[in-house]
Structures are given as structure tokens and as C-alpha cells.
Amino acid sequence: MRFIIASFLASSSALAAPVSFSKQIAPILAGQCLECHRAEKAKGGYRLDTFEQLLKTGDSEEATVVPGKAEASELYELLVVHDDSDRMPKKADALPEKDIALIRQWISEGAKYDGSNAQASLTSLLPQKVAQTLEKYPRPIPVTALALNGDGKVLVTSGYHEVLSWDPATGKMRGRLAGMPERVLGLSFVQGGPWLAVAGGTPGRSGEVWLVNYAKPAERKRLAQMRDCALDAVTSPDGKYLVTAGADNRVRCFALPEGKEIWNLEAHADWILGLAISPDGQHVATASRDRTAKVMKTATGEIEGTFTGHSVPVLSVAFAPDGKEVISGGQDGEARRWTLDGTGKKDSTLRPAGRTEVLALSYLNQDTPITASGSGQVSVIDAKARKTKARLVMHGDRVNAMALLGGGDGQAVITASHDGEIRITQMVDNKELRKFVASPGW
């Protein structure tokens, strides 16, 4: 009974409070509308990337927001119009009823602006998430992303609404970056520091891209907000570019360190599951559920080649050290080598993992790719002989991500598994150096 009264009070007071543009409306518009209505791409001649822009009319010259009159406001009318082809967001489901009701209420209350600068970008207004960090995890959670910084001293892994950082030498936790997307699916350090790129989201609901100062986590900026998860993030070795891609089939490129978006392209017909950047930073490769992999120019997004050799979803991709060859991994357990123009090599097909999917790829050297698979295994391949040279590490569950640590005889591979475990394994002799569960409290 106490609960019922409390929730009743909470909901009635929510109705009584005026709708806040920056806390309630901006997140809806940024997530659902911004991708088609911003400076670089203003569909229908209409932008809503700042509050000032949002009040202006588009090509139709109909008033977009009439304070106090939702029915006379095109922005509201286009959310509820019956004809699917006219309704916003275009080519997507209608907004949830509660979001439409909020927008209606906000306009009815006078379409007030509660930020401090009407020219500020909508994304800068979005509320910082209240940290929902759990002190201890009730059970280990899958590790879906990891990254190692330039000197190999900081390892970051995906957490629940957070990024966890570890000392790879001891396996001890160094710190926790809270207020991150619910699922963290892509992590990449920016060369030269102190920034870490974080991509993720809530499946089917929202996607986010962040730059976080990992030395001072309060210093952070949200670079993009999408309708579905960002699934991967890579930065160029010269620290100039961040590229992300995800479940909206788009690839986005941002200039670093400021984080301004320089291009944004619908590159595939289905989810983009993996990304790689060439050693010279000039090319980006994508792996997609649409069964193709592509290469595009980092500076412009111009597509240089499409590889159609997989007849199954492509899950992972990597550049060879010479930057001229790409390897991509499929759901059927095959990895294939090809050149930047999308042409497959004659001896291209490798079957490192039996019939389990190739989830992550890397290179030991030009002719020695490494694959991580759904069976929990990491394989070192002799690409010329098309043979598996060594089978390393065996996790109890799929390996979602890996990174190489150190060099020479001491070189190790760090692997992250779906069962929550991180293992650091020396490559020459498959010796396990360290093993820990990357969930706080475990």
C-alpha cells in the first residue's frame, strides 16, 4: 500500500511539473530526429540541432512550433499524422505515446526553453546520466569490449553502465568510469591521451558515442546519440580520427580531439558489427550482417571496395600490418583475406575455428593473422600455408574481443569472454599469465 501511494504521488507530481526542454524533450529529439535534421543534412530544409533552429520553418514554411498550440505546430502534427509516409521520424516506427504526450505538453505549456544558450547544440544539453553503477555485480557479465592503452599499462573493459579499468600486470581493478551507456560495445584509446572513446547503448532503443578523459572521468563529451546501439569504435594511430558504426547501419567519423563529426554514411544494408582502421590511419574497414565487408577513406567516407566473398554475416575485420590486405571473419568460421578494392586473394580462405564464428581478428605479423572464435579458442594462423600454427587459450565461452600486449618472446594476448573472464596468455608457449573475472565483486 505504501508503494501504491508513493508511486501515485510520484506520477501525479510528474504531471504537475512543467516539461523541461533540456531534460525531457532534447533527449527525444536528439535520439530520434537529429540524424536527418542537422546542419550537415537538413531533410525538408529543417534543422533541430539547436533550440534556435528548431523554431524556424523548413521547406513547407509551416510554423514548426507555435507556443501554446500543439495542433498548429508542424513538429507535433508530423508525429501523429496517420499517413505513415508523412509521419516523423521518417521510415521508422512512430514515437512511443508517452514521448508524443510529453512533446504535446511542452508545446501547450508555451514551448519554453530552460537551457542557458538557445544556440547551444542539442547534444550538449542532454542530461548527464545519473550513475546507476552497481557496487557489486550479482553475477559476472559478458565482456563485450576491451582496449589497451599505448604503453600497455591500462586495460579497459566493458561494464554495466560503466567502463572498468585494470592493471594488466596484476589483474587488479584501477578504477571505474560511471555514467556510460548500459552496454559498452566499443572501446578505443586515443593515441597521445588522455581520451578514451566509448561506444554502446541500449539495444533497440538508443546508441551513444562518448569521449572520456580517463585520468579525469568527469571531463567527458557525448559526440553522438543514435536510435540504436553503436557496436564498435576505432581511433587512428595518429590520434586524428575516431570512427564508430552500429545497428543503424551507419559509419560516423569524428575529428579528434574536439570530436566534431566530419562525415556520416549509411554504408551497409544491415548492422555493422566490426570496424578496423589501417596502420597509416587512411582507410577504415567494416564488417556487416549484410554479408559484406567494405573499405572506405577515413578522411571522406568514400567507398573504395566491397568484399562479397562471405555468404554469411561478417562479424570481424582487421588490416594486415602492411595496410594493403584486409582479413574478415564470418559466422561460418571462415576468415578471408582480400585487398582494399574488395578483391579476394586466390588463397584467401582460412578455416581456423572449425565451424564456430570468427568474432575477433588481429595480426602477429604480415603472414600471421590471429583469430578468436565462438568456441573460446584463439588460433595463430600461417596464412601462406593456410594452416593453424598454434591453438591458444581456451575460454569456457565465446571470445568477444582481444588485444596484443608487449612484443618478442614475452608477447601476450588478452582475451575477453562472454562468461565474464579475462585471460592474459603468453603466445610462445600458451602459458596463462593471468586470469580474472572483469565484474566488480567477483
**28, 89, 227, 326, 329 from 32: Cα distances, Å:** 6, 6, 6, 34, 32
Cβ proximity to ligand HEC: between 31 and 333 the closer is 31
Minimum CB separation of residue 82 from ligand HEC in Å reads: 14
Minimum CB separation of residue 79 from ligand HEC in Å reads: 6
Task: Give the bridge partners for 388, in sequence order.
Answer: 381
Per-residue binding letters, 63-82, with ligand HEC (x by CB under 6 A): -x---------xx--x----
Gyration radius of the chain over CA positions: 23
Among 2, 82, 91, 139, binds ligand HEC (CB under 6 A): 91
Measured at the CA of 277, the angle between CA 272 and CA 279, to 5 degrees, comes to: 165
Q: Which of residues 15-34 bind ligand HEC (CB under 6 A)?
A: 32-33
Q: Distance from first CA to last CA of the chain, Å, rounded?
A: 37
Q: Which of residues 367-386 bind ligand HEC (CB under 6 A)?
A: none
Residue 90 contacts ligand HEC per CB under 6 A = yes
Cell of 56: 524556424
Residue 395 contacts ligand HEC per CB under 6 A = no
Minimum CB separation of residue 37 from ligand HEC in Å reads: 6
Cβ proximity to ligand HEC: between 89 and 207 the closer is 89
Cβ proximity to ligand HEC: between 102 and 303 the closer is 102
Cβ proximity to ligand HEC: between 91 and 346 the closer is 91
> Residue 30: what are its φ and ψ, rounded to 5°?
-65, -40
List, as one string, the DSSP characters of 343-381. PEEEEEEE-TTTTS-EEEEEEEETTEEEEEETTSEEEEE
CB 297 within 8 A of CB 283: yes
Q: What region does 281 belong to: left with phi over 0, alpha with psi -120 to 50, or beta?
A: left
Q: Which of residues 33-62 bind ligand HEC (CB under 6 A)?
A: 33, 35-37, 43-46, 57-60, 62
Kindly indicate which of the ranges 14-22, 88-96, 207-215, 345-353 contains the residues binding ligand HEC, using the contact rule CB under 6 A.
Answer: 88-96
Q: Which residues of 150-168 are buried (b: 16+ CB within 10 A; e: fewer)?
A: eebebbbbbbbbbbbbbeb
Cβ proximity to ligand HEC: between 71 and 347 the closer is 71
Among 26, 38, 70, 89, binds ligand HEC (CB under 6 A): 89
Q: Which of residues 93-152 bind ligand HEC (CB under 6 A)?
A: 95
Q: Which residues of 223-236 are buried (b: 16+ CB within 10 A; e: fewer)?
A: bbbbbbbbbbbbbb
Minimum CB separation of residue 270 from ligand HEC in Å reads: 17
**How many chain residues interact with ligand HEC (CB under 6 A)?**
24
Minimum CB separation of residue 69 from ligand HEC in Å reads: 15
Cell of 322: 602492411
Residue 87 contacts ligand HEC per CB under 6 A = no
Binding residues vs ligand HEC (CB under 6 A): 32-33, 35-37, 43-46, 57-60, 62, 64, 74-75, 78, 86, 88-91, 95
